[in-house]
Chain A
Amino acid sequence: MTKKMAIIATKGTLDMAYPPFILASTAAALGYDVQIFFTFYGLQLLRKDLSDVKISPLANPAMPMPVPMPVMVQMLPGMESMATMMMKQKLKKHGVATLEELRDICLEADVKFIACQMTVDLFEFDKSEFIDNVEYGGAAMFFGFAGETDICLFV
């Protein structure tokens, strides 16, 4: 019988966008039937354009920095964009796929994406800004699948 995995993706930053897509694409490669439920900030990962997905050094003391940086400096305008650019360069240098690539791999492998209808309404997101391969539903719909999974993760 096919194994199943469900992931709840709740974060919309560059660093936290990777785990759901990496785990989903790997599980799909191993033959799992996979669904990801995107809710709250995780919905940002469904946008056609992912260029606004960023990483912030602020309130992120575990993030390795090339030089120690006081919080007062991390707050300055442009620091977020700089940290994002540096992180993307690092990912590229290490041969890590881009978010877009990983998301495409998931879609090609028939990973099902579900967007939380309640948070789409709450944040007044425009569905036309999301990719096409998204189903809209609520928690109960997700449980229909999640309740029968072998692995269920909250990211």
Chain B
Amino acid sequence: MNFDKELNARGLSCPLPIVKTKKSLADMTSGQVLKVIATDCGAVKDMQAFADQTGNTLMSTAEENGEYIFFMKKK
């Protein structure tokens, strides 16, 4: 999937993946896609909840080799 920016949140625990996702999105423009890579399994539900509450779109969630990869489209 194409993306405009990547956030490495590997090794970070709650709430850092969410806080850093929010910060990364702040410098982006509407419609751009942020790729987030996290290792905290709690991030799976948190990223969906973040999207639901902020109006950004979580386009996909995948797990690869113990890492979670998210594509978030900015509102």
**How many residues of chain B have a CB within 8 Å of chain A?**
15
- Asked whether B12 lies within 8 Å of A31 as measured between CB atoms, the reply is no
* Contacts known (A29-B50, A30-B54); A94 close to B15, Cβ less than 8 A: no
**Interface residue A16 (Cβ < 8 Å from any Cβ of B):** no
Smallest distance from the beta carbon of B18 to chain A beta carbons, Å?
A: 5
| Contact A95 B53, beta carbon cutoff 8 Å | no
Chain A residues with Cβ below 8 Å from B39 are 95
**Size class of the A contact interface (CB-based, 8 Å):** 10 to 19
The answer on a CB contact under 8 Å between A96 and B18 is no
Are A25 and B19 in contact (CB-based, < 8 A)? yes
Q: Confirm or deny: B40 has a beta carbon within 8 angstroms of a beta carbon on chain A.
A: yes
Bound form: Cα–Cα A25–B20 in Å: 11
Q: Which positions in A face B, CB cutoff 8 Å?
A: 22, 25-26, 28-31, 94-97, 105, 109
B contact set with A: CB distance below 8 Å: 11-16, 18-19, 21-22, 39-40, 50, 53-54
